[in-house]
């Protein structure tokens, strides 16, 4: 019998090296967490921010739906929804329910583009009010599940103003809340180009937390990628992971800004669009750099607002022609927004922005159509995958395709969290309620294998 060429001791040494490298890789790329993530961010001027304001936005969204798509068929035709009348009915009913119960998942009080440049005293006052409203909403439980502020950029001309606004908001919040911060609270930093921008914000937050009684490390950072230099640095290297690492563990999410980015690429306003190839390149670069890291990525906005050109008054109602013109304009804007959201979803961006409450019905319609359209296939795949995984031979207690299995489970978790799917629809995939609530594919597999082993020895 021919002897083997590999010495067992040498093989064990190489195995240890590979295992150490694999562990480093797992630390760097832990995968997407199973916790809930929002399907959008609603940006509005900070001067308008109020605790409980999400419900007012929901009322406006419902009024828009009632005015321009009062029934499932009209809504489906306006958006060119896929599927049959039954699916259209389901989407319409779930959209209305969402707008009643939780119209906004993630909200930003915006001190940048949605606010503009104002006198220091005016912005100071608005920043203090935002902090007080955040504390009030926290106490009354009227805030969206995710909330935050967007400050101005760290360009030379706006750094001091941005830091001052941050200080006013957090000082007022901490004073009113006793140092408590809303869950999933983030500070969005726009127009990031340098790791030093991120490091500076992290240092500011650490200083403010220490001085205010806010628990250290509580406040997360959301970065806006709006410049080519944020994608590729002066050495031609990807800059994105450097930006994230500069945040000292605080960076939880990245948002792409299509219009500032394409403008920075010297693309004229006429051709700046959601689907411009330059924007697609940036999205792909962000995705490639951050895939598997657990950093959430968000797409950009639709800038065409669903607002009709004609306004009625108590003394002058709109004519039939004016009503028809309003309907056409709103439905056209809806369709553009629907197509943009759907395109983002198809490219793996499960979150993007809304700027007007009349965009909210379309947001949820697009997301719900995306999830419901894949429900049957996803249920079959998860059922088969769980059956195969629970019977597979494990090596080192890890199933080879655990990431794929977690991705399938995350599909249902995402869909349920945003109202697209019901728990009953997830259970049809052969998963139990306890397994679903565990949010962990590997935990489900381990429990099933344990039950199987116990049955074999009984």
Q: At what angle do helices 320-346 and 360-391 cross, to 10 degrees?
A: 30
Report pLDDT digits (tens) over 303-354.
Answer: 999 999 999 888 899 999 999 999 999 999 999 999 999 999 999 999 999 9
Residues 6+ apart with CB under 8 A from 186: 146, 147, 148, 219, 220, 221, 222, 252, 253
The per-residue pLDDT for 456 is 55
The per-residue pLDDT for 1 is 61
Confidence of residue 404 (pLDDT cuts 50, 70, 90): confident
Residues 6+ apart with CB under 8 A from 150: 43, 108, 109, 110, 111, 112, 114, 187, 188, 189, 190, 224
Say whether pLDDT at 277 is over 60: yes
Q: How many CB atoms lie within 10 A of CB 236?
A: 7
The per-residue pLDDT for 314 is 83
- Among residues 113, 139, 106, 310, the alpha carbon closest in space to that of 222 is found at 106
Which helix H or strand E contains 255, and what residues bound it?
Answer: strand 251-256
pLDDT-above-70 percentage for the chain: 95
Say whether pLDDT at 355 is over 90: yes
Cα distance between residue 34 and residue 237, in whole Å: 31
The per-residue pLDDT for 150 is 99
Say whether pLDDT at 400 is over 50: no
Distances (CA, A) of 175 to 135, 203, 296, 391: 9, 21, 30, 55
Whether the CB-CB separation of 247 and 221 falls below 8 Å is answered with yes
C-alpha 372 chain-centroid distance: 19
The per-residue pLDDT for 455 is 56
- Among residues 306, 298, 302, the alpha carbon closest in space to that of 273 is found at 302
Report pLDDT digits (tens) over 253-269.
Answer: 999 999 999 999 999 99
Q: C-alpha angle with apex 152: 150 to 153, nearest 5 degrees?
A: 115
Q: How many CB atoms lie within 10 A of CB 105?
A: 26
Q: What are phi and psi of 113, to 5 degrees?
A: -60, -35
Q: C-alpha angle with apex 298: 292 to 299, nearest 5 degrees?
A: 125
What is the mean predicted confidence (pLDDT) over 245-250? 98
Say whether pLDDT at 61 is over 70: yes
Question: Which class would CATH give 40-370?
Answer: alpha beta
Say whether pLDDT at 458 is over 80: no
Residue extents of the structural domains in the chain: 40-370, 374-457
The per-residue pLDDT for 441 is 86
What is the mean predicted confidence (pLDDT) over 51-67? 97
Confidence of residue 214 (pLDDT cuts 50, 70, 90): very high
The per-residue pLDDT for 448 is 83
Report pLDDT digits (tens) over 370-398.
Answer: 999 999 999 998 888 888 766 654 444 44
The per-residue pLDDT for 454 is 54
Cα distance between residue 37 and residue 351, in whole Å: 8
């Amino acid at each position: 019998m021919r002897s083997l060429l590999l010495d067992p001791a040498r093989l064990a040494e190489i195995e240890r090296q590979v295992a150490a490298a694999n562990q480093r890789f797992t630390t760097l790329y832990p995968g997407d967490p199973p916790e809930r993530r929002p399907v959008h961010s609603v940006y509005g001027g900070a001067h308008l921010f109020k605790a409980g304001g999400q419900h007012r936005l929901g009322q406006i969204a419902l009024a828009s739906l009632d005015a321009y798509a009062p029934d499932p068929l009209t809504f489906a035709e306006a958006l060119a929804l896929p599927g049959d009348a039954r699916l259209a009915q389901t989407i319409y009913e779930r959209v209305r329910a969402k707008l009643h119960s939780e119209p906004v998942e993630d909200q930003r009080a915006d001190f940048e583009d949605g606010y503009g440049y104002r006198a220091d005293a005016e912005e100071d006052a608005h920043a203090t009010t935002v902090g007080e409203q955040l504390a009030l909403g926290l106490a009354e439980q009227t805030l969206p599940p995710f909330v935050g502020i967007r400050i101005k950029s760290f360009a030379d001309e706006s750094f001091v103003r941005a830091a001052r606004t941050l200080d006013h908001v957090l000082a007022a919040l901490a004073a009113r809340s006793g140092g408590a911060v809303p869950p999933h609270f983030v500070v969005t930093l726009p127009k990031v180009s340098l790791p030093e921008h991120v490091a500076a914000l992290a240092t500011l937050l650490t200083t403010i937390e220490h001085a205010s009684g806010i628990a250290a490390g509580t406040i997360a950072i959301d970065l806006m990628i709006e410049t080519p230099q944020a994608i590729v640095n002066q050495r031609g290297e990807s800059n994105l992971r450097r930006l994230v690492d500069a945040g000292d563990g605080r960076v939880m999410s990245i948002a792409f800004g299509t219009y500032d980015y394409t403008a920075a690429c010297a693309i004229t306003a006429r051709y700046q669009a959601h689907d411009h190839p330059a924007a697609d390149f940036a999205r792909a670069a962000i995705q490639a750099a951050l895939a598997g890291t657990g950093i959430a990525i968000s797409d950009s906005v639709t800038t065409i607002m669903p607002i009709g050109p004609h306004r009625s008054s108590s003394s002058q109602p709109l004519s039939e022609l004016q009503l028809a013109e309003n309907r056409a304009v709103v439905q056209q804007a809806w369709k553009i927004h629907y197509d943009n959201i759907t395109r983002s979803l198809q490219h793996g961006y499960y979150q993007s922005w809304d700027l007007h409450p009349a965009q909210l019905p379309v947001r949820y319609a697009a997301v719900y159509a995306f999830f419901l359209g894949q429900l049957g296939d996803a249920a079959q795949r998860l059922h088969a995958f769980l059956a195969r995984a629970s019977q597979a031979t494990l090596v080192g207690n890890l199933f080879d395709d655990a990431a794929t299995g977690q991705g399938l489970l995350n599909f249902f978790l995402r869909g349920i969290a945003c109202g697209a799917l019901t728990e009953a629809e997830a259970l049809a995939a052969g998963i139990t309620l306890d397994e679903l609530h565990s949010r962990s594919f590997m935990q489900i597999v381990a429990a099933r294998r344990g039950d199987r082993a116990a049955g074999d020895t009984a």
